A and B are shown apart, each in its own frame.
Chain A
C-alpha cells in the first residue's frame, strides 16, 4: 500500500481535494491526544491510501492541534507528500513547502485554485518552479475538478516506482550551514540517524521547532541539546527565515508570467498603499467610522426614526387608547398596553433606522474588502499592548453583539490572549447601546450627534486596549498567536450581499423587541405602577422610585440627579436596549420627542456624557455574562467581569463629571 500525505496551509482547498481524490472516507477518527479529525481515504481501484493532515502554516507549531503534522513527519514516513498550495498565495505557502522539501521525502506540489491566480493576471512557469524546488509541480482546481486526473495518475504509483527526491538545499548563512553540517554529522555517526532525516532534524531544531526540541530531549540527542543556547543566542531561526523568504522571492520572480492587463490588481495595490499606510491607516479608519455615524445619526437614521416615532406616538397610540376605552379595558390594562408596551417596546423600535443604517455601513465595509485592512491597520496598536490583529476581529464583531464577539475569540490560539480578548470584549460598544445613545445625543448634542457617538465607540476601544495591556502585564503573557490575514481585492459591494448582511445583523434587534425588551418593559411598568401596598397612581410612590432614590446618593457624584435613569440602568442588565424602553415608561412619555425634551431638562451636556460613558462600560448584559462563564469555563471570570466593569465605568464617569465640572 502506498501512503500519500496531503499537507498544506489552511484554506488551500486541501479537504475538497481529498474528497475528490478519495471516493469515500475509509476511516474518520481523531489524531492521538488532540481533537483534530483524522481522515484517511483510498483512491478507488488503487493501492494508494491518502491521509488528510490538518492545515498548518509552518512545521513549527503554535497549538497542540498544529503539532499533529510535525509529529506525523517525525514518527511516520509517508511514501509521497502531496503539498497543496493556494496558487494566489504562493509566497506564503512555499514557506511550508520548503520545510517539507528539506525532509527529502518525495513531494509533489500542486498549485490549487489556479483560476483565482489566472484572474489576477498572473501565472507561473511550472518548469522553472519544478527546477528551483526540485520536485514535480502541477496545477489544479479542486472545485471544478480541473487537473485532478493528472494528480490521480501521479499518486497511483507503486511504492517502488516513486522517484526519490533529494532534499532541497538552501544557501543558509555560513554560520548556520556550519551548525547544520556539524549537527548532521554527529547525529549520523553517533546516533545512526539517516543522513537526510538528521539534516532536517538539525534545521528544525535550530529553527526553534518546539516539537522537534521535545523529540530531541526524549531521544537524548546531545549534539543538538548541547548547542541550543548557542543557536538561540545567534538568532539562527531569524536567519533561516530570511534565507527561505529570499529564495521564495527569487524563485517566484523568475517563474512569474504576466497573462493580461492587471488593472484591477493595480487599483487594489494603489488603494492599499494609502489605506494600510502606517501613518494614514488609523485616521482613515476613524474617518470611515465617523462617516458611518454621520449617516446613521445625522443624515439618514435619525430623520427616518422621527417619522417612525410620529406614526407610533400619534395614530397608533391614539387608536389603541380609543379602542381599549371602547371595549371597556380597565385603566391599568390601558396603561400597561399604551404607556408600557407601545411607548416602551415601540419606542425602542423607532431606533430601527439608525441601527439598520449602521449595519448596512458595516456590511458594505465587509463586502468591499476593507475590514481585513482594518484588522491589519489595528495590528500595530494591538502589538503594542501584547495582542495582535487577530484579537481585532472578535472586538469588531463585538460592535454588533458582545456575545458573538466573545465567541469569536475562540479563533485565538494562545489561552492567555484568548482570556484577555474575552475580558475586554464587553467594553466594545454593541448595537444594543445605540438607542440610549440616540436619545441622549438628540436631547443634548443635536448638532454633534455623530461626533459624540464616535467618541463613545473610541473610548470603549481605548478602555479595552488599556485593560488589555494591564491584563497582559498581570498574566505575564509571553507567547503570541500569529496573525496572518489574506487581503482580498477591493470590489464594489453587491446589493444582495449588503442587504443579506444588514438583515442578518439587524433581525436580532427586532426579535429582541418581541422577547426580552418586551419582558423588560413589562417588568419596569410593574415596578413603576406598584408598591408594597398595591397599584399606585403616583409613580413617585412606586418600587422603581424607591429603588432609584435609595441609589441616588451613589450616582450624584457622576451627575445623575433624578431617580428615573438609575432605575432604568438596573433593567439594562436584561439587555441594554431595555434602558431606553424603561426611560420611556419611567418618564411617562408617549413619544420620543417628549422624552428627549424631558432628558434635556434633567441633564446637562456634561452629566449626560458621564451617564453615556457609564452605560458604555457598566455591567454587561446577562447573555454576555453567561457567555464569559461558558467560554472561560469559570464563574469566577464572569463575576470578575461584572465587578471590574462596574468599578471602571463608575470611576471614569466620576472623573469626567468632576473634572468637567471644575473646568466649566
Chain B
C-alpha cells in the first residue's frame, strides 16, 4: 500500500469522524440524540405530542 493510499484512508476516517461530530452537534441543537435516525415506539408517541413552551 503506497503512502498516498495510507494518507487517503487516514484522512477518510478522520473526515468521517469529524462529519459525525458535526452531525451530532447539529442534531443536538434540535433535541435529538445520535441514535435518532429511526423512530422507536416511545419516540413515535412523543413526537405526536406537542411541545409546550414554559
Task: Show the binding face of A for B, using Cβ within 8 Å.
Answer: 35, 327-330, 332-333, 336-337, 341, 397, 400-401, 403-404, 406-408, 410-411, 415, 418-419, 501, 504-505, 507-509, 511-512, 515-516, 518-523, 526, 574-575, 621-627, 629-634
Q: How far is the CB of B31 from chain A (nearest CB, A)?
A: 3
Report B1-54 residues with CB < 8 Å from chain A CB: 1-3, 6, 9-10, 13-14, 16-18, 20-21, 23-25, 27-38, 40-43, 46, 49-54
Q: Do B49 and A411 touch (CB < 8 A)? A: yes
- Given contacts A408-B46, A410-B52, is CB(A518)–CB(B20) below 8 Å? yes
Chain A contact residues: over half helix, strand or loop, or mixed? helix
Q: How far is the CA of A191 from the CA of B25 in the complex (A)?
A: 63
Q: How far is the CA of A333 from the CA of B21 in the complex (A)?
A: 21
The 10 closest A-B pairs by CB, nearest first: A508-B35, A626-B28, A630-B31, A522-B17, A519-B20, A623-B33, A627-B31, A328-B1, A516-B34, A622-B28
Highest count of chain A CB atoms <10 Å: which of B14, B16, B17, B18: B17
Q: How far is the CB of A474 from chain B (nearest CB, A)?
A: 15
Please, which residue of chain B has its CB at the minimum distance from the CB of A410? B49
Q: Which of B10, B28, B43, B52 lies in contact with A623, CB distance below 8 A? A: B28
- Given contacts A630-B31, A631-B31, is CB(A408)–CB(B42) below 8 Å? yes
- Given contacts A518-B17, A519-B21, A519-B24, is CB(A404)–CB(B35) below 8 Å? no
Q: Which of A401, A419, A523 lies in contact with B17, CB distance below 8 A? A: A523
Please, which residue of chain B has its CB at the minimum distance from the CB of A508? B35
- Given contacts A410-B49, A508-B35, A630-B30, is CB(A419)–CB(B24) below 8 Å? no
Please, which residue of chain A has its CB at the minimum distance from the CB of B3? A330
Please, which residue of chain A has its CB at the minimum distance from the CB of B23? A515
When distances are taken between beta carbons in the complex, the residues of chain A under 8 Å from B53 are: 632-633
Please, which residue of chain B has its CB at the minimum distance from the CB of A501? B41
Please, which residue of chain A has its CB at the minimum distance from the CB of B14? A522
Q: How far is the CB of B8 from chain A (nearest CB, A)?
A: 10
Q: How far is the CA of A508 from the CA of B2 in the complex (A)?
A: 37
19 A-B pairs (CB sep. < 8 Å): A332-B6, A332-B10, A337-B13, A403-B32, A403-B36, A404-B33, A406-B31, A408-B42, A507-B38, A508-B33, A515-B20, A518-B17, A574-B21, A622-B25, A623-B34, A625-B28, A627-B31, A632-B54, A633-B51
Q: How far is the CA of A384 from the CA of B36 in the complex (A)?
A: 35
Q: Do B24 and A515 touch (CB < 8 A)? A: yes
When distances are taken between beta carbons in the complex, the residues of chain B under 8 Å from A403 are: 31-33, 36
Q: Do B52 and A415 touch (CB < 8 A)? A: yes
Please, which residue of chain A has its CB at the minimum distance from the CB of B9? A333
- Given contacts A410-B46, A631-B51, A633-B53, is CB(A333)–CB(B6) below 8 Å? yes
Q: How far is the CA of A589 from the CA of B24 in the complex (A)?
A: 27
When distances are taken between beta carbons in the complex, the residues of chain A under 8 Å from B41 are: 501, 504
Q: How far is the CA of A302 from the CA of B11 in the complex (A)?
A: 36
Q: Do B38 and A329 touch (CB < 8 A)? A: no
Task: Show the binding face of B for A, using Cβ within 8 Å.
Answer: 1-3, 6, 9-10, 13-14, 16-18, 20-21, 23-25, 27-38, 40-43, 46, 49-54
Q: How far is the CB of A529 from chain B (nearest CB, A)?
A: 11
Q: How far is the CB of B53 from chain A (nearest CB, A)?
A: 4
Q: Do B35 and A509 touch (CB < 8 A)? A: yes
Q: How far is the CB of B12 from chain A (nearest CB, A)?
A: 11
Given contacts A411-B49, A519-B24, A621-B33, 16 further A-B contacts (CB under 8 A): A329-B9, A332-B6, A404-B40, A404-B42, A410-B46, A410-B49, A505-B40, A511-B37, A518-B17, A519-B21, A522-B14, A575-B33, A575-B34, A623-B31, A623-B34, A633-B51
Q: Which of A407, A512, A516, A519 lies in contact with B31, CB distance below 8 A? A: A407
Q: Do B21 and A410 touch (CB < 8 A)? A: no
Q: How far is the CA of A592 from the CA of B49 in the complex (A)?
A: 42
Q: How far is the CA of A592 from the CA of B44 in the complex (A)?
A: 36
Q: Which of A35, A327, A523, A626 lies in contact with B21, CB distance below 8 A? A: A523
Q: How far is the CB of A399 from chain B (nearest CB, A)?
A: 12
Q: Do A526 and B42 touch (CB < 8 A)? A: no
Q: Do A526 and B10 touch (CB < 8 A)? A: no
Please, which residue of chain A has its CB at the minimum distance from the CB of B52? A410
When distances are taken between beta carbons in the complex, the residues of chain B under 8 Å from A404 are: 33, 40, 42-43, 46
Q: How far is the CA of A341 from the CA of B50 in the complex (A)?
A: 40
Q: How far is the CB of A520 from chain B (nearest CB, A)?
A: 8
Q: How far is the CA of A522 from the CA of B18 in the complex (A)?
A: 9
Q: How far is the CA of A578 from the CA of B50 in the complex (A)?
A: 32
When distances are taken between beta carbons in the complex, the residues of chain A under 8 Å from B6 are: 328-330, 332-333
Q: Do B20 and A410 touch (CB < 8 A)? A: no
Q: How far is the CA of A507 from the CA of B35 in the complex (A)?
A: 8
Please, which residue of chain A has its CB at the minimum distance from the CB of B22? A519
Q: Which of B3, B23, B31 lies in contact with A626, CB distance below 8 A? A: B31
Please, which residue of chain B has its CB at the minimum distance from the CB of A334? B6
Q: How far is the CA of A622 from the CA of B16 in the complex (A)?
A: 19
Please, which residue of chain B has its CB at the minimum distance from the CB of A331? B6
When distances are taken between beta carbons in the complex, the residues of chain A under 8 Å from B33 are: 401, 403-404, 508, 575, 621, 623-624, 627
Please, which residue of chain A has its CB at the minimum distance from the CB of B33? A623
Please, which residue of chain A has its CB at the minimum distance from the CB of B48? A410
Q: How far is the CA of A332 from the CA of B21 in the complex (A)?
A: 22
When distances are taken between beta carbons in the complex, the residues of chain B under 8 Å from A341 are: 13
Q: Do A407 and B46 touch (CB < 8 A)? A: yes
When distances are taken between beta carbons in the complex, the residues of chain A under 8 Å from B25 are: 622
Q: How far is the CA of A516 from the CA of B26 in the complex (A)?
A: 12
When distances are taken between beta carbons in the complex, the residues of chain B under 8 Å from A337 are: 13
Q: Do A410 and B50 touch (CB < 8 A)? A: yes
Please, which residue of chain A has its CB at the minimum distance from the CB of B50? A35
Q: How far is the CB of B40 from chain A (nearest CB, A)?
A: 5
Q: How far is the CB of B4 from chain A (nearest CB, A)?
A: 11
Please, which residue of chain B has its CB at the minimum distance from the CB of A422? B54
When distances are taken between beta carbons in the complex, the residues of chain A under 8 Å from B31 are: 403, 406-407, 623, 626-627, 629-631
Q: Do B40 and A508 touch (CB < 8 A)? A: yes
When distances are taken between beta carbons in the complex, the residues of chain A under 8 Å from B34 are: 511-512, 515-516, 575, 623
When distances are taken between beta carbons in the complex, the residues of chain B under 8 Å from A504 are: 40-41
Q: Do A333 and B10 touch (CB < 8 A)? A: yes
When distances are taken between beta carbons in the complex, the residues of chain B under 8 Å from A575 are: 24, 33-34
Q: How far is the CA of A407 from the CA of B49 in the complex (A)?
A: 9
When distances are taken between beta carbons in the complex, the residues of chain B under 8 Å from A518 are: 16-17, 20
Q: Do B27 and A626 touch (CB < 8 A)? A: yes
Q: Do A512 and B21 touch (CB < 8 A)? A: no
